[in-house]
């Protein structure tokens, strides 16, 4: 039936801290479980990431915020994380119902982890270069080079 075409969504775009080891691990986690290729990625520090943050009226220097953009809507912090779980395979969508809890409560946990992620998981001074297979899942602005620094 042609309903499959009409029901297809644009891939969700995840903005991640390109210097954060936890964020890199989360990116690999999502890609490994995203056979349908529902997600694309961009570093918050990249030109594309900075442009998208500005378009969503989000602070360009807030590296503690995980952002998911889909169909022109911006989701941040725990809202973004739970929406990602909702789109993954296997049992991960079972976490999505946590969205019924108020965001300010969910974001207390999110902020606690985000504020300690460099201490717990480490930090790279430059964005890591993804493999060729992963690289096609990342977006860049046309004027941007092959490596963000």
Digit-coded pLDDT (tens) for 118-131: 788 777 765 555 66
pLDDT given at position 143:
41
- Alpha-carbon gap, residue 141 to 147, rounded angstroms: 11
Q: Which residues contact 65 (CB under 8 A, 6 or more apart)?
A: 44, 58, 59, 76, 77, 114
Question: Position of tokens 């056979």?
Answer: 35
In a domain, 14, yes or no: yes
In a domain, 54, yes or no: yes
Provide the Cα torsion 10, 16, 109, 113; round to 10°.
160
In a domain, 82, yes or no: yes
In a domain, 149, yes or no: no
Look at the pTM and tell me if it is higher than 0.85.
no
What is the tally of structural domains in the chain? 1
Q: 102: pLDDT confidence band, cut at 50, 70 and 90? A: very high
In a domain, 145, yes or no: no
Which residue range is the domain that position 81 belongs to? 10-132
In a domain, 84, yes or no: yes
């Amino acid at each position: 039936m042609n309903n499959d075409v009409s029901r297809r969504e644009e891939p969700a775009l995840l903005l991640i801290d390109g210097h954060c080891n936890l964020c890199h691990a989360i990116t690999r986690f999502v890609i490994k479980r995203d056979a349908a290729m529902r997600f694309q990625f961009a570093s918050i520090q990249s030109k594309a990431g900075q442009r998208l943050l500005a378009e969503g009226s989000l602070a360009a220097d807030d590296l503690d915020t995980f952002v998911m953009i889909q169909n022109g809507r911006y989701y941040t912090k725990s809202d973004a994380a739970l929406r990602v779980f909702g789109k993954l395979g296997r049992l991960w969508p079972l976490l999505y119902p946590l969205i019924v809890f108020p965001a300010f409560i969910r974001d207390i946990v999110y902020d606690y982890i985000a504020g300690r992620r460099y201490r717990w998981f480490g930090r790279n001074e430059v964005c890591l270069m993804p493999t060729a297979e992963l690289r096609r899942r990342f977006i860049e602005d046309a004027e941007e080079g092959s490596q963000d620094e």
